[in-house]
Chains A and B, each alone.
Chain A
Amino acid sequence: MTHALTLAPAPRSDAAELVRAEVREFLAAEIAEGTFTPHVDTWLSGVDPAFSRKLGDRGWLGMTWPKEYGGHERTAMERYAVTEELLAAGAPVAAHWIADRQSGPALLRYGTEEHRQEILPRIAAGECFFVIGMSEPDSGSDLASIRTRATRDANGDFVVDGAKVWTSNAHHSHYAITLVRTGPPGDGPRGKHQGLTQLLVDLSLPGITINPIRILDGGHHFNEVVFDGVVVPAGMLLGEEGAGWHQVTAELAFERSGPERFLSTFPLLTELARRAAAGQDRAQLAAVGRLSARLLAIRQLSLRIAAALDRGELPDIPAALVKDIGTTFERDVIDEVRRVAEVTPSLSSPDPLGRALAEAQLHAPGYTLRGGTNEILRGIVARGLGLR
């Protein structure tokens, strides 16, 4: 086994199992009360601020952060248990997902004391939501080629012009951690990594327009966010001016290996399990078994990465690998279901299997693109194998 991919097994955590039981009890009660119905891919499309606040009240957001910033100083394993329970149940977690997963940690690492004190407690309470302002129309995989730029005005504040796209849930959120060009690129192939900066942009600032972009099922999750001479106060610089590339890549390591990279279509697998259990059909039972074996292997890897992050390591190469195989799995569930079950996919189907299949299918293109495409990830894995 190549060194770059080897990780120590995750330690078992009694605390994680305890909080897992609490979350299950909570979710069962919420479903019984009808506060939500399970859906596929809810970390993109399940926006429910009231639900997010409930999680905040229970201490399930900002779980690992210091108490002085509204956090709960719990382990990454405990947080992992909470997030995977929420995803497996198809609960509406999209409103707070980005803030809790990556923006909060980015503020902890790079934010000023003021940012931390002002914003982190609100994220942990489920009251403040973030979006990722990275991609642009001409800059997806080639993120360093972005054109949105910020210049300093006479007061030293930043003036931002440009446009971001695919900005998930910007229309429900408060801040965008926005990657902008503040200086010229350097020489050489990696030169364009220079001169990039992250800004903490309040989405209610004058000069920001948020335009909806509809995805395949007609849903509004994507946006175009246009910046027209937006004045961002100097104090909203995140980290160091010019260090944006380094900060963004660190952020991506948190983004890549969590349970949302293999559980987006789990509610569909649950519906197959329901069908298989009811009919005791051997082919369906075998499909449930085959998919579960795949899922469990990915989950073990993902847990190892969570434990490594907890130890302060930066396992970026295994994280890329998990995201590749995990998101491929999410997509494969769809056709495994079709191969063994008679089901008509339709968003308006009265059959929960047919509805889950339709949701999973219409969201499928996203799994292997968002957060860095699988091709880019395989390049990272190949580098880890010493091939490039």
Chain B
Amino acid sequence: MSDDQDLVRQTVREVLTAHPPVSLTAELTWDEGLWAELAAAGLTGVGLPEEAGGSGGEVADAVAVVGELARGAGAVPVGEQLLVAGPAVLAAGLQLPPPDEPLVAAVDGDLTAVPDGDGWLLSGTAVDVPWAGVALHLAVLAQGPDGPVLALVRAPAPAWTHANLAGEPRGSVAFDGLRAPAAPITVAAVADLRARAALLRAVQLAAALEQVLALTLRYAGEREQFGRPLGKFQAIQMYLAEMAGEVTAVTAVVDAAVQALEAGEPLVPAAATAKVRAGAAVEVVAALAHQVHGAIGFTQEHALHHLTRRCWAWRDEAGSELAWSATLGEHLVAGGADGFWPALTRVV
């Protein structure tokens, strides 16, 4: 980690001190104040080139911003913009919206785009759109006459929204011949886009899980029962050690996947690995964290739920853990059993 990223982290942390996690509800679907402050500081454009309107910086800087926001349970679509939708829009040669206006990618659903004069007409329904109702712009993946197309639209009101386990809005957005700028993209770019969405969740999970461990370590040192801190009980020590093992392994593999992204290496197997491993850790880490916290952790009075509820949600978003496990397995055995080990050593 370089000094640049340390500085970025520090800046995000400072912004977050004035914006503790909020409990999202049907009425309060995001932390608009946090977004505004991040945008004013240029943090919603990190890693996007200055000539396109971004703030410049490396992928690693964007990853640092996203990780810090996940640690602080910030309810803002920054990761979607910096790591997924922004790069996809630029790669397709489309005009990046101003970075202070939330942009997310809609990659699932049944959509078509047909060329019409100097634009395209977009029809169909996008599903599982993150931050539906919050994002102002959508980069929508659709099927064109000759292959996949990425369209950029001002987000219409969603047809239906639901909340994930953390209360973050997800939804369906319908289009009926909406005129929009769009560009054909390759099948490989589509796979890359989905992999980026998965890698985003893996980066968020790794940071959130680290924070869950930190909160639990702190609590085990402070809470006393039977006249001693919980951390003095061997059963609790074993739990914390087990959690630390999970978190450390996740961080290692997610860091490696981020390096693959930076190096422009094949992203699908690396992102799949990171997402699956980070998701698997949630089962252990969240359960043990709650076990150590006792009843207070089961309430909204303690901060733990902001993180654990996100972890439970994120592990099955941008492709479920089940789906990504299968994708990874498929990739690894594509060359038969003899190709398995060689393929494995190329993933990250």
Give A contacts to B, CB under 8 Å. Answer: 135, 138-142, 145, 165-166, 213-216, 218, 222, 331, 335, 338-349, 358, 361-362, 364-366, 368-370, 373-375, 378
CB pair B323 A342 closer than 8 Å:
yes
Partner of B291, one of A142, A339, A362, A365: A365
Q: Point out which of B299, B308, B323 has the most chain A C-beta atoms below 10 A from its C-beta.
A: B299
Could you list 19 A-B pairs, sorted by A, with CB under 8 Å?
Answer: A135-B295, A140-B295, A213-B299, A214-B300, A215-B298, A215-B299, A216-B299, A216-B305, A331-B287, A335-B283, A338-B321, A340-B322, A342-B322, A345-B312, A358-B165, A364-B287, A369-B295, A369-B298, A375-B235
Contacts A218-B23, A345-B316 given; does A141 touch B300 at CB 8 Å: no
CB pair B295–A166 under 8 Å, yes or no, is yes
A369 — which chain B residues lie within 8 A by C-beta?
A: 290-291, 294-295, 298
Q: Are A338 and B295 in contact (CB under 8 A)?
A: no
The one of A213, A340, A358 that contacts B301, using a Cβ cutoff of 8 Å:
A213
- Assembly CA distance A159 to B248 (angstroms): 53
What's the Cα separation between A335 and B322 when bound, in Å? 11
A142 B226 Cβ-Cβ under 8 A: yes
Q: Given known contacts A166-B295, A213-B299, A366-B298, is B165 in contact with A346 (CB within 8 Å)?
A: yes
CA distance A165 to B302 in the complex (A): 14
The answer to whether A141 touches B226, judged by C-beta atoms less than 8 angstroms apart, is yes
Closest 3 CB pairs of A and B: A365-B290, A142-B225, A214-B300
Classify chain B: how many residues form its interface, as a range. Answer: 35 or more
B291 to A373, Cβ gap below 8 A? yes
Residues of B272-326 at the interface with A, using a CB-CB cut-off of 8 Å, are 283, 287, 290-291, 293-295, 297-301, 305, 308-309, 312-313, 316, 320-323
- B346 at the A interface (CB under 8 A): no
- Could you say which residues of chain B place their CB within 8 Å of the CB of A165? 295
Q: Mark B216-236, 1 if CB is under 8 A from A, else 0.
A: 000000001111000001011
Complex Cα spacing A180 to B162, Å: 45
Q: Name the interface residues of B1-59: CB closer than 8 Å to any CB of A.
A: 23, 25
CB neighbours (8 Å) of A370 from chain B are 295
On chain A, the residues within 8 Å of B323 by CB distance are 342
The reply to whether A378 and B301 contact each other, CB–CB distance below 8 Å, is no
Is the beta-carbon distance between B299 and A222 smaller than 8 angstroms? yes
Chain A residues, CB < 8 A from B170: 344, 346
**Any A CB within 8 A of the CB of B163:** yes
A-facing residues in B143-172 (Cβ within 8 Å): 162-165, 170
User: Which residues of chain B have C-beta atoms less than 8 A from A138's C-beta?
Assistant: 224
Contact of B320 among A213, A342, A349, A373 (CB under 8 A): A342
Query: Chain B nearest CB: distance from A320 CB in Å?
Result: 15
Residue of B nearest to A349 (CB): B162
Whether B80 is near chain A, meaning CB under 8 Å from some CB there, is no
Query: Which A residues touch B100, using CB under 8 A?
Result: none
For the complex, give the distance between the alpha carbons of A140 and B25 in Å.
30
Alpha-carbon distance A341/B323, docked complex (angstroms): 10
Minimum CB–CB distance from A354 to chain B (whole Å) comes to: 9
Given contacts A142-B226, A218-B23, A218-B300, contact A346 B322 (CB under 8 A): no
Bound CA–CA A216/B321 (angstroms): 23
Across the interface, B316 reaches (CB within 8 A) one of A135, A338, A378, namely: A338
**Which residues of chain A are near B294, meaning CB under 8 Å?**
140-141, 369, 373
Whole-angstrom CA separation of A345 from B164 in the bound complex: 7
Q: Give the A-binding residues of B (Cβ under 8 A).
A: 23, 25, 128, 162-165, 170, 224-227, 233, 235-236, 283, 287, 290-291, 293-295, 297-301, 305, 308-309, 312-313, 316, 320-323
In the complex, A292 Cα to B292 Cα: how many Å?
29
Complex Cα distance, B225 from A378, in Å, reads: 17
Within 8 Å CB of B227, what residues of A?
Answer: 142
Expressed in whole angstroms, the Cα–Cα distance for A366 and B297 within the complex equals 9
Chain B nearest CB from A377 CB (Å) reads 11
Residues on A with C-beta less than 8 A from B299 are 213-216, 222
B37–chain A nearest beta-carbon distance, Å? 26
Q: Is the CB of B25 within 8 A of A218?
A: yes
B99 to chain A: closest CB distance in Å? 29
Q: Is the CB of B322 within 8 A of A339?
A: yes
A346 touches B162 (CB 8 A): yes
Interchain CA distance A216-B312 in the complex, whole Å? 12
Q: A346 to B160, alpha carbons, bound, how many Å? A: 13
Cβ distance A242 to chain B, nearest Cβ, rounded Å: 22
- Bound-state CA distance A322–B301 (Å) is 31
Closest to A379 in B: B235
Contacts of B290 in A (CB 8 A): 364-365, 369
Query: Could you tell me the distance between the alpha carbons of A361 and B298 in the complex, rounded to whole angstroms?
Result: 12
Q: How far, in Å, is B151 (CB) from chain A's closest CB?
A: 24
Q: Which residues of A contact B320 (CB under 8 A)?
A: 338, 342-343
> What residues of B have a CB within 8 angstroms of the CB of A364 in the complex?
287, 290
A254 to B76, CA, bound (A): 47
Contacts of A345 in B (CB 8 A): 164-165, 312-313, 316
Closest to B230 in A: A141
By a CB distance below 8 angstroms, the chain B residues around A139 are 225
Q: Which of B227, B233, B283, B321 has the most CB of A within 10 A?
A: B283
Cβ distance A17 to chain B, nearest Cβ, rounded Å: 37
In the assembled complex, which residues on chain B have CB atoms less than 8 Å from the CB atom of A166?
295
Q: Looking across the interface, which residue of chain B has its beta carbon closest to that of A139?
A: B225
Known: A343-B316, A345-B164, A365-B291. 8 other contacts (CB 8 A): A141-B226, A165-B295, A215-B298, A338-B320, A338-B321, A364-B287, A373-B291, A375-B235
A165 to B294, CA, bound (A): 12
With contacts A338-B316, A345-B313, A345-B316 known, is A216 near B291, CB below 8 A? no
A218, A342, A347, A365: the one within 8 Å of B297 (CB): A365
In the complex, how many angstroms separate the beta carbon of B290 from the nearest chain A beta carbon? 4
Chain B nearest CB, measured from A347 CB (Å): 7
Say which residue of B233, B235, B283, B300 sits within 8 Å of A216 (CB atoms). B300
Contact A344 B225 (CB under 8 A): no
Chain B residues near A215: list those with CB within 8 A: 298-300
- Residue among A216, A338, A344, A366 facing the most chain B CB atoms (10 A cut-off): A216
Question: Which of A338, A362, A366 is close to B165, meaning CB atoms less than 8 Å apart?
Answer: A362
A78: shortest Cβ distance to chain B, in Å? 33
Q: Which chain B residues lie closer than 8 Å to A348 at the CB level?
A: 162-163
Asked if A378 and B128 make an inter-chain contact with CB atoms under 8 angstroms apart, the answer reads no
Complex CA–CA separation, A138 to B230 (angstroms): 12
Considering the chains assembled together, what is the distance between the CA atoms of A165 and B91 in angstroms? 55
